[in-house]
Structure 1
Amino acid sequence: MESDTKRIEGKLDRIVDLLESNAGARELVARSQEKFWALEGLRERIEDNAGNVMIVGAVGLPTGETYDWQQAESVTTALQLEWSDLSDVLGALGHPIRLLILQNIVSGTRSTPQLAAIPELGTTGQLHHHLRLLIAAGWLTSTGRGHYAIPAPRVVPLLAILLAANR
């Protein structure tokens, strides 16, 4: 009788394990269906058969600043842009020192003296050269004498570009 009880308990344990694993499988399926929740929301709003492209983000920076941003455009409009006109804006991101400057600024290092104290950024003259290029391209703005910030409409797109480059 005792061995029957243990055998039944063992079977019940296996059944519970199977049920739990099935629940886990169902949860995984549900999560995979939620994976593209933003994309599904975009598809519901698409007016153009060619589709849309969207940049969206809810960002909390180490500085305590928060940015909510979304930008969408039809593929047709994106393909009609003068891509070559954007080379200066994109090219400004194509230098490791400028990316390091942006990384430090987004993390809270915002004044010229603070930035100049970072050895990798080179001399003060080199630093100012890179700052001018970033300002001209719209990736930085001067918030006061010797203080810089990334404009709010550029924070999420910058992070999206970096994530895309990291694929």
Structure 2
Amino acid sequence: MELEQRVADLERRLADLEGARRGETPHLDESDFWALNGLKEQLSQLDAADGGVLYTGSVTLPTGEAYSWQMGALTDGLLEDDWTTAAESFAALGHPVRLRLLREILGGRRTAAELAELDEVGTTGQVYHHLRQLTGAGWLETTGRGRYEVPPARVVPLLVALSTTRS
């Protein structure tokens, strides 16, 4: 029986891999939801009947910088918040050049001069405009004259935000 179960598991995993190549959602079972199950356990200890959300990540960038981070929020607090305060942050991410600049900064290009040399990001003035928008929304911070970085507390949330756009 153990061999039959192992073969069935391998067949399911192979089908999931082949389906993923075709853009299909893989089959998930209860063991695949370890983070969700942990969240539910924490929420039950808090008597949070309406639930909550959790996002977390452990990331090593191409530069070698490593970040581990997690954030959780209760549903009732999120639904009661004034969502209009998030508009500036979302708007800053809503431009293709700004997303490209963030990706390049995470990849190691940190100066405005390096960023202005990139193809298809516009003039130096336009690059500075985009950098100011990202800095004003908290997605970037200056670390010296003309140097930028994504603040450590924003690296994982940025990647989470990007991952939500995948089908």
TM-score by length of 2: 0.84
Q: SS of the counterpart of 1:121?
A: coil
Aligned match for 1:44, one of 20, 25, 41:
41
- Alignment: residue pair count: 149
Aligned match for 2:8, one of 16, 25, 43:
25
Distance in 2 (CA, whole Å) between partners of 1:89 and 1:76 is: 22
1:2-151, aligned counterparts within 5 Å? 20-25=3-8, 32-46=29-43, 47=46, 48-151=48-151
Distance in 2 (CA, whole Å) between partners of 1:154 and 1:98 is: 15
Q: SS of the counterpart of 2:93?
A: coil
Distance in 1 (CA, whole Å) between partners of 2:51 and 2:5 is: 37
Letter in 1 for 2:31: E
Q: SS of the counterpart of 1:63?
A: coil
Give the Å deviation of 1:26: 5.2
Give the Å deviation of 1:144: 0.5
Gaps of 5+ in 1: 1-17
RMSD: 1.8
Letter in 1 for 2:103: Q
Larger radius of gyration, structure 1 or 2? 1
TM-score by length of 1: 0.84
